[in-house]
Structure 1
């Protein structure tokens, strides 16, 4: 059984050393295991201001937000409002792609698993209003189909925006309001923001980028992606503690916002991955699946304008680790052994 007392002192010493070694401006790490919570912070939120990172600092979580979107979708399944295997058009009759036959077949399950097959790297800014997601989905009519629905895996940000629009339609309210009413408020997340105006009321980090091989990373000129990308990763900013609180709800024994059967269904393997994808070993409903030795780990990485994070619950050992940074490139960590995991995470985060 993992005891946090055995890693607390080590982590407090090594985290500052490792972020300095790998030129990461600032980071916070949180570990939850067997009812205990450990948090450690190091570095600065902004190299221009020198404000230090503390455990109550907020970082953008980027694409980890996709697990939140998947959770909102699975809540609708529990409520009997959403069938993952019905075509998207059962809920969004206006859903269009360049390939009309594919658009008529794609299901929400395929969107959740990144197997819908249409081009997903579309970062169109449709404004800051409550209609941003609806307007984004309207523009997908010009999006090409890359392969038949369900045939292959292709990471799809646009697909998660479509899920966000389904959530809006079935809840009758904007996606951000759904986040607040169905996840943030029930989980009592006091240090979670959904936009820059809210984040600035807290101790918020900025993203950084490498300015040269020997120079210190510099603050990025843009803080976040457009609101239209909220379901895919542009909305949520939070502390490591709040992210761990969300993750604990997916460990089955800590209570949360989904029933136990749904939590297990959300972690069921749907698509086995090729190493060429640079993702996990398999994909479930929102979660990536990693096989590390005898352990199965569910997680998700995220980056948003040079802020990065990842979250890794281990369902068998009942622990979860999250790390949030403001470095220069995306990161990858596997929770296995303490220093190996942390060093790998920071090495991947190092500006190039």
Structure 2
């Protein structure tokens, strides 16, 4: 590879997207190459390095899933055994879900339990408290009915299962079972464990004119730990990815999980209603992508001002990681990764499909309000076109300098899938699925992996 060319191109893209810094990792045929560009903090101008530590966000779920599969290997937990087997006091509002939800439902985001876990605090009992707090949590959708991403709750329940079985806190489990055996020195599960001299500062980009400003939230609450609080470097993320490529073994040959567990993680899949933005299927702690016929495993992560991307190409013996302290922008990650993939002669990332302007739709079937706590989407027809209005909470709108109601036109790809372009230069085109028609109306809207049910009419 021409690393200097890739570094120069990445630096050029950083300037274009106004992202302060990035570190890129490339695992090819067992060897890791990494490079860093930009700065880790705009206020100090200190350069990003290959040792800079970033917040992984939801990429933490892949780490947690690997640790959980170790318990499966040891026969201490079964993927299809009810959670109540391990947590006898587990309870949610729906008695059937209480009795039947399994670790597999939690790993692949088909449990449907609302993220209604209250304020569990920042103590070592946070995951125990989260499980206690969901006794009245309703269902977003029936158990196993559709995919709907759980940002924090699903993986917190998995963490609590591990804690009860192992007699240790989740943070200690991750250190003792993964970070230590993999030989990782820059990876941790809590912000106070990160070396401040190596930590990237998150930045929010509200306008191209203003440029990046420091994030108002230095890290996510501890409730997000198993699903969002791992910190790592681009190289050490690839050390974890090697476990998938290496059928359960680390780069030095250490057995982390069994080959069977890797096959389970990658082979146990459910369909994703919106297949275009990330991938058509979700496995156990991994997204499954289809790049021009080649299967690629992935996970993304974002905190408020930091982002992580991981792509694993088993057929090509490649894994790529990208960590940034500004964004997120799908188009940035795609341009960087496509430069590297083309250099390696590998398959590149597919473009989004084109809209079908000739498709005739009964727009009334899609109209309505789709919402859940913290998210509201209003779909309406006007002048023969379909529109989605995203409703921001007042604080978010004020901080971002945006209106509280942002309209987007929905351009049909099929009877259930739409492109959602934006006229904001800081936003990429997104995709939306509106689906599951009953009595002439859609029941769910799925975008950014999240599912939002149609609101009941008053």
Q: Same fold (TM over 0.5)?
A: yes
Give the 3-state SS of the residue equivalent to 1:214 in structure 2: coil
TM-score (norm 2): 0.70
Can you list the C-alpha shifts for 1:37-86, whole angstroms capped at 9, x where unaligned?
11111111111121110111000001011011111111111000001111
Tell me which residue corresponds to 1:135: 129
Number of aligned residue pairs: give it: 341
Q: Which has the larger radius of gyration?
A: 2
Give the Å deviation of 1:97.
Answer: 1.3
Give the Å deviation of 1:139.
Answer: 0.9
Runs (4+) of structure 1 exceeding 6 A deviation are 339-342
Residues in 2 aligned to 1:336 and 1:260: alpha-carbon distance in whole angstroms: 30
Residues in 1 aligned to 2:14 and 2:118: alpha-carbon distance in whole angstroms: 34
Give the 3-state SS of the residue equivalent to 1:289 in structure 2: strand
Equivalent pair of 1:23/1:351 in contact (CA under 8 Å): no
2:13 aligned with 1:11:
no
TM-score (norm 1): 0.90
Give the 3-state SS of the residue equivalent to 2:312 in structure 1: strand
Q: Which runs of 5+ in 1 are unaligned?
A: 1-5
Tell me which residue corresponds to 1:204: 199
Equivalent pair of 2:105/2:144 in contact (CA under 8 Å): yes
Residues in 1 aligned to 2:248 and 2:93: alpha-carbon distance in whole angstroms: 44
Tell me which residue corresponds to 2:340: 338
2:111 aligned with 1:116:
yes
- In structure 2, do the counterparts of structure 1 residues 277 and 173 end up closer, same or farther at CA, with 3 Å as the change threshold? farther
**Greater relative contact order (Cα 8 A, min sep 6): structure 1 or 2?**
1
Residues in 2 aligned to 1:331 and 1:125: alpha-carbon distance in whole angstroms: 32
Residues in 1 aligned to 2:118 and 2:277: alpha-carbon distance in whole angstroms: 25
Residues in 1 aligned to 2:283 and 2:2: alpha-carbon distance in whole angstroms: 31
RMSD: 2.3
Equivalent pair of 2:280/2:288 in contact (CA under 8 Å): yes
Q: Which runs of 5+ in 2 are unaligned?
A: 251-255, 343-347, 352-421, 428-458
Give the 3-state SS of the residue equivalent to 1:41 in structure 2: strand
Larger fraction in strand: 2
Tell me which residue corresponds to 1:263: 262
2:212 to 211, 217, 221: 217
Give the 3-state SS of the residue equivalent to 2:249 in structure 1: coil
Can you list the C-alpha shifts for 1:75-127, whole angstroms capped at 9, x where unaligned?
1110000011111111111112121222211111011010011123x575423
Tell me which residue corresponds to 1:279: 278
Equivalent pair of 1:110/1:116 in contact (CA under 8 Å): yes
Give the Å deviation of 1:339.
Answer: 7.2
Give the Å deviation of 1:27.
Answer: 0.5
- In structure 2, do the counterparts of structure 1 residues 277 and 98 end up closer, same or farther at CA, with 3 Å as the change threshold? farther
Give the Å deviation of 1:221.
Answer: 1.8
Larger fraction in helix: 1
